[in-house]
């Protein structure tokens, strides 16, 4: 669902009549309700094992409390700061290795799997290695800070021809119906209120 529909809004300041913002006050929530169903729960019913590594950032007990078989717990941005080491900045290497280990174990047991990694992109040079900073500076760009607005999307999956491309824009909540369709989940088994559309159609 979009942030507007699921009420996951986060205004930069409190909206009140006193600061002259004539808007309807937004609801700010940061956890899942008992009624909401995660993709891990849907895929689990289809025989998949799943894991989420890195930033969970929505409270509610972490990924394991919301349908995932493995994860890093109820993590948020603050959990990344102690992990700021040059050999493993923001635990990028660590969570990648945990995901690889999870996939190997699932493959060895012949179990279909779903892995989600949410890296900690914390916006300051101190949270990366000096080699990475040097490579970015060598590109001689104006700014590399706008990465999350429009980014290229690379996908490999059933029915996707190699070396093909599309200029059709997609959004993050298209992934839920796409991944569940690939997993063989029927549309009538999906939770109510899904806004995204499968990328296969």
Q: What are residue 13's phi and psi, to 5 degrees?
A: -145, 160
Structure tokens at 154: 């690379």
Where does residue 100 rank: exposed (0-12), middle (13-18), buried (19+ CB within 10 A)?
exposed
Please report the pLDDT score of residue 59 as a whole number: 80
pLDDT by residue, tens only, the chain of 201 residues: 887 787 776 655 555 555 555 555 666 677 888 888 999 999 999 999 999 999 998 888 899 999 999 999 999 887 776 655 667 778 888 999 999 999 999 999 999 999 999 988 766 666 667 787 788 788 766 765 555 566 778 888 888 888 998 888 888 899 999 999 999 999 899 998 889 899 887
CA distances from 165 to 17, 19, 156, 196 (A): 48, 47, 11, 20
pTM given for the model: 0.80
What per-residue confidence (pLDDT) applies to 193? 86
pLDDT (0 to 100) of residue 141: 62
Query: What pLDDT does 52 receive?
Result: 97
pLDDT for position 92:
85
Q: In the prediction, which pLDDT does 91 show?
A: 85
Residue 114, pLDDT score: 97
Distance CA 37, CA 32 (A): 9
Q: Where are the domains of the chain?
A: 3-189
The predicted structure's pLDDT at residue 18 = 58
CA distance 159 to 162: 9
């Amino acid at each position: 669902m979009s942030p507007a529909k699921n009420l996951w809004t986060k205004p930069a300041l409190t909206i009140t009549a006193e600061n002259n913002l004539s808007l309807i006050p937004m609801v700010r929530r940061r956890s899942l309700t008992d009624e909401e169903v995660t993709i891990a729960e849907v895929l689990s019913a289809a025989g998949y094992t799943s894991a989420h590594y890195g930033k969970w950032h929505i409270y509610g007990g972490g990924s394991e409390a919301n349908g995932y078989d493995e994860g890093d717990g109820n993590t948020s941005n603050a959990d990344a700061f102690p992990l700021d080491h040059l050999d493993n900045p923001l635990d990028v290497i660590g969570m990648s290795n945990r995901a690889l280990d999870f996939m190997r174990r699932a493959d060895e047991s012949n179990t279909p799997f779903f892995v989600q990694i949410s890296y900690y992109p914390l916006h300051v040079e101190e949270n990366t290695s000096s080699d990475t900073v040097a490579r970015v500076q060598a590109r001689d760009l104006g700014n590399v800070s706008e990465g999350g607005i429009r980014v290229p999307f690379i996908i490999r999956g059933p029915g996707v021809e190699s070396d093909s491309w599309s200029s059709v824009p997609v959004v993050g909540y298209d992934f839920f119906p796409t991944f569940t369709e690939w997993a063989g989940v029927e549309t009538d088994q999906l939770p109510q209120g899904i806004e995204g559309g499968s990328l296969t159609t």
